Chains A and B, each alone.
Chain A
Amino acid sequence: MKKFATILAATTLAASAFAGNITVKGSDTLVILAQKWAEVYMGQHPDVKIQVSGGGSGIGLAALQSQTTDLCDASRKAKASEIAGCLKAFGARPTEYKVALDGLSVYVNPENSLKELTVAQVGDIFTGKIKNWKDVGGPDAPITVYSRENSSGTYEFFKEHVLKGKDFAASAQTMPGTAAIVQAVLKDKTSIGYGGAAYGGGSKLLAIKKTDNAPAIEPTEENVLSGTYPIWRHLYVYVNPALDKGEVAAYLNWIRSDDGQKYVKDIGYYPLPKNLRSN
């Protein structure tokens, strides 16, 4: 088994050492953007081949540890156990690059009269503490909660930052993707869901207040970029520092350059402000 693993690692290392072949794996949130980047970059550099695949942030980080991928996309920070895994596998911490910003919006059905919620109210709705829309100023109807599968980086981010680490309500329906949540929210008049602002097509995106007295902020580009919209996150790329040279380093630099960042908005995320680009 071990022998097999070493052979596998050796062949993948050999494959990635081959002139300008870069494999990228990880977050489903980032996969469309990563594909767009790869497409454009390959157009500009015909001798470079970039293979992009998804699966989830955790899958990407596992692949980084088993050295079956060069770059790993992640929609959350690497956990301590994953960094420890990298240390065990190649004796170094993975280098972390922030590559884009994402604002998470809260979706409701377009027929819902509600316009805004505070972060605490959103948290209480998703933990099941608030069960009826009338408790937050909406119509008198029970709330149906849609959430993501717990394998999603978005789920973990939402749980940690909006629910403050508390559990999602047991009755929260878990959906396999953000698009599925939007689909369900559109069918279900009393429902609520969350996900990237880019996916919200057709549903109503609620304005979010940081505290009771704070102004309600719409999840628009300028509000996310200025940091006034309260629910946002970084999107990351992780790389084994030993591989971060030559073609890979050039690609990573390009992603974070003006040229690379201008494609971020096409996909529905937000480009990194200049001051965040240098690591």
Chain B
Amino acid sequence: MTPSQPNESRRSHGWMGIHRGHKARPLEWFAEKFIFLVSLSAILMVLLIFLFVAREALPVFFGETNTALVQKPIPPAEMDKHSPAELQAYLDLTPDQFTKMDKATLRDLMAVKVEAQDDIPENFRNDPDAKINTTEWKYLVAPHQWDDYKKPEYIWQPVGQIKKFNIIPLFVGTLKTTLIGLFFAVPLAVGAAIYVSQLARPRVREIVKPVIEMLSGIPSVVVGFFALLVLATVLQTVFHYETRLNAFVAGIALGFAVIPVIFSIAEDALTSVPRTYTQAALALGASRWQTAWQIVLPAALPGVFAATVLGFGRAIGETMIVLMVCSASVMSWSVFDSARSITTTIAAEMAEAVNGGPHYRILFMLGSLLFAATFLSNMAGDFVIHRFKQKLEGKK
């Protein structure tokens, strides 16, 4: 945007009579607007996806879903005793569907409702849980003593006569696998980044760096497959735990997927520390190791932290690895027990959930909670990085 020389602009007529430098050419103007629209559409897409997920999940947040097993059906013979509005609500029909439907179909629909009640096995009919709407918040987050269980428990069993939707085991499972993955990946990835950017000879760096980054090109389903067949057996023979497929194996496999993400960002951050820092440290007599550990790493800490946060986002959103390795929704903090992550649950169950039904709504609610979790962690990361930077630059 530097103004051109007045003399020159007066002489040249530019393209289509518009002076160069004063105003953009029409083509450039179009290009600019086009790029603006493209970038806007990306933002719009994210917004639309979020709105869609939130809209599908809203009935759960507002408690509009009902999963009570035993409900009193209206016999088809009493159809005329009820007003059309009542019937329409009872049969879950939209006004449009209701007006189009003839009486015989309506009667059939009511008969199906009665049949559904008749189909309930005898032992469930008198079950105290059969009258509960299991999608109320207290059943979603607090333990409940279901019939047949000895104590209040967190249970995720969304398919069956009495559907149990407690989401806590899924959150615990997600955190368990993600944290194990990070504990495994962060030291390895940051260590490798320090080595490659500060200590390695250029020849070694040229080999090691692309090899680690190539890891990110391995499809997660292949990592999952490897973990399922090889890693699980190897780790079990080393650690002698009881369950072959557990959160520990999944976490380590997640680590493989996360290492290249953390490595490449941390390495960038370490490399972009000004050379003057290193030179000054070395000139003062520090060894290369001291320089890397005490000067360069602290200076690059915001970047390393950002790498960890991004790694967290990648790990919490990873689906395939956890899906293949472990997926029992057990409520336990032990790393050698199985775990079921939120993404696994959505991926495995969405296909069979009845469109618009309670299970479907709850899966969408899990999706929106996951979205909120990653959004908040990224926000927190951003905030911390900002504070770090200010501190390092001596502004605070």
Binding site for B on A (CB under 8 A): 55-59, 62, 79-85, 87-88, 91-93, 142, 144, 149-152, 155-156, 159-160, 164-168, 170-176, 183-184, 187-188
Contacts and interface: CB of A to CB of B under 8 A. Distances in A.
A18 to B, nearest CB: 27
B381 to A, nearest CB: 33
Interface in B131-151: 146, 148
Given A87-B108, A159-B159, A170 B354 contact: no
B348 A87 contact: no
Interface stretch (B109-117, B268-276, B281-289): B109-117
B116 A173 contact: no
Given A56-B352, A84-B109, A151-B348, A164 B123 contact: yes
B164 A80 contact: no
B78 interface: no
Given A56-B351, A151-B352, A165-B124, A142 B109 contact: no
Interface string B337-353: 11010000000110111
Given A92-B105, A165-B121, A173-B338, 20 more contacts: A55-B351, A56-B352, A58-B354, A81-B116, A81-B354, A87-B105, A144-B242, A150-B158, A150-B159, A151-B348, A151-B349, A155-B159, A167-B157, A170-B328, A170-B330, A171-B337, A172-B328, A183-B229, A187-B229, A188-B244
A162 to B, nearest CB: 13
Contacts of A92: 105, 108
Contacts of A55: 351
Given A87-B108, A91-B101, A159-B159, A80 B115 contact: yes
Nearest to B146: A167
B312 to A, nearest CB: 25
Closest 8 CB pairs of A and B: A80-B116, A151-B352, A58-B352, A150-B159, A170-B330, A167-B157, A174-B327, A149-B348
Given A91-B102, A144-B243, A150-B159, A171 B338 contact: yes
Contacts of A79: 116
A173 B92 CA distance: 36
Contacts of B174: none
Contacts of A83: 112
Given A150-B159, A187-B233, A59 B328 contact: no
**Interface of A, helix, strand, loop or mixed by DSSP:** mixed
Contact of B97 (A58, A88, A151, A156): A88
A58 B351 CA distance: 8
Nearest to A159: B160
Q: Which of B109, B112, B148, B353 gathers the greatest number of chain A CB atoms within 10 Å?
A: B112
B352 A150 contact: yes
5 contacts: A58-B352, A84-B92, A167-B155, A167-B160, A171-B243
B115 to A, nearest CB: 6
Contact of B354 (A82, A159, A167): A82
A53 to B, nearest CB: 13
B357 interface: yes
Interface in B299-324: 323-324
Nearest to A59: B351
A173 to B, nearest CB: 5
B165 to A, nearest CB: 12
Contacts of B353: 58, 151
Contacts of A175: 327
B128 to A, nearest CB: 15
Contacts, number: 121
A87 B113 CA distance: 12
Contacts of A165: 121, 123-124, 160-161
B102 A151 contact: no
Contacts of B160: 156, 159-160, 165, 167
Contact of B113 (A84, A91, A155): A84
A31 to B, nearest CB: 14
Nearest to A150: B159
A57 B352 CA distance: 8
B116 to A, nearest CB: 3
B328 A171 contact: yes
A25 to B, nearest CB: 12
B348 A170 contact: no
B331 interface: yes
B378 to A, nearest CB: 31
A173 B354 contact: no
A89 to B, nearest CB: 9
Interface string B88-103: 0001110001000110
Contact of A142 (B105, B242, B349): B242
Interface string B363-376: 00000000000000
Nearest to A129: B148
Interface in B193-243: 229, 232-233, 242-243
Contacts of B65: none
Contact of B348 (A80, A171, A174): A174
Contacts of B153: 170
A80 B112 contact: yes
A171 B155 CA distance: 11
Given A149-B349, A159-B160, A170-B330, A88 B109 contact: yes
Nearest to B232: A187
